[in-house]
Amino acid sequence: MTHASSQAVPKSPARTGEEELARLHQDHGRALFGFLLGLTYGDAQRAEDLVQETMIRAWRHPEALETDHESMRPWLFTVARRLAIDARRARMSRVKECPHGLESSSMQADDPIEPSIAALDVRAALRELSEEHRSVLQQVYFRGLSVNEAAEVLGVPPGTVKSRTYYALRALRKALHDYDILG
């Protein structure tokens, strides 16, 4: 006996429309990329990947876009920030891989001198920074102050602390490359 299937056909989940998603990316993509570029310490490829992942979340959750808010930017930035945090945690939890071609038997035991040499190189690299850059890194990284606390100690606006920190880290990274710490 043939009969029409009484079983319900699984309904595909609702997705954000292509045009709406394109408009969302056009309206917020550049700002989102800039935001993520800061969170990824200037890694454009990683920032772009996170923008795409954020847009995938918007595509998968059209209900988030059905709101009476003026802008979707706060939602997008929150999703992007959480994705960046998750990606960083995942990277930090991975075991460092051995470069291809090196066998574990050729790896030497930890050299107790290496950390001391690296510390000396870091100190030398810090001395190459301007006083403004060095002082902001000392407050934020070595003393562990927040941006607002560092701004108060240094007598500058918080935005200046953020800007100086960004440029100081870039200068320090370049100096450390020169000392062959970062390769």
Number of folded domains in the chain? 2
CA distances from 122 to 98, 109, 118, 172 (A): 24, 23, 6, 8
Same domain, 80 and 23: yes
With a pLDDT cut of 90, the percent of the chain lying above it is 24
User: Of the ranges 68-72, 150-154, 176-180, which one carries the lowest mean pLDDT score?
Assistant: 176-180
Residue span of the structural domain in which 81 resides: 18-93
Residue 107: the pLDDT is 47
| Res 152: pLDDT | 94
Do 89 and 123 lie in one domain? The reply is no
Is there a domain that residue 75 lies in? yes
Q: Are 134 and 173 contained in the same domain?
A: yes
CA nearest to 133, candidates 115, 103, 116, 156: 156
Q: Is residue 6 part of a domain?
A: no
Same domain, 88 and 53: yes
Q: Is residue 111 part of a domain?
A: no
CATH number at residue 139: 1.10.10.10
Does 88 fall in a domain? Answer: yes
CATH code at position 61:
1.10.1740
- 32 and 86 belong to one structural domain: yes
Q: Is 111 left (phi over 0), alpha (psi -120 to 50) or beta?
A: beta
Angle made by CA atoms 167, 90, 13, in degrees to the nearest 5:
110
Provide mean pLDDT across the span 95-120: 60
Confidence band of 102 (pLDDT split at 50, 70, 90): low
Residue 89 lies in a domain: yes
Identify whether residues 137 and 174 lie together within a single domain. Answer: yes
**Residue 176 banded pLDDT, cuts 50, 70, 90:** confident
102 lies in some domain:
no
**For residue 147, is it within any domain?**
yes
pTM score > 0.75 for this model? Answer: no
The answer to whether position 5 is within a domain reads no
125 and 79 in one domain? no
The highest-confidence range among 16-20, 77-81, 157-161, by mean pLDDT, is 157-161
Under the banding of pLDDT at 50, 70 and 90, the label for residue 150 is very high
User: Same domain, yes or no, for 63 and 126?
Assistant: no
User: Do 25 and 78 lie in a common domain?
Assistant: yes
* Per-residue confidence band for 74, with pLDDT thresholds at 50, 70 and 90: confident
Tens of pLDDT, residue by residue over 24-65, are 889 888 999 998 988 888 889 999 999 999 888 888 887 777
pLDDT for the residue 106: 47
Same domain (yes/no): 125, 160: yes
Are 26 and 86 contained in the same domain? Answer: yes
Question: How much is the pLDDT for 105?
Answer: 47
Task: Report how far residue 73's alpha carbon sits from residue 151's, in angstroms, rounded to the nearest whole number.
Answer: 27
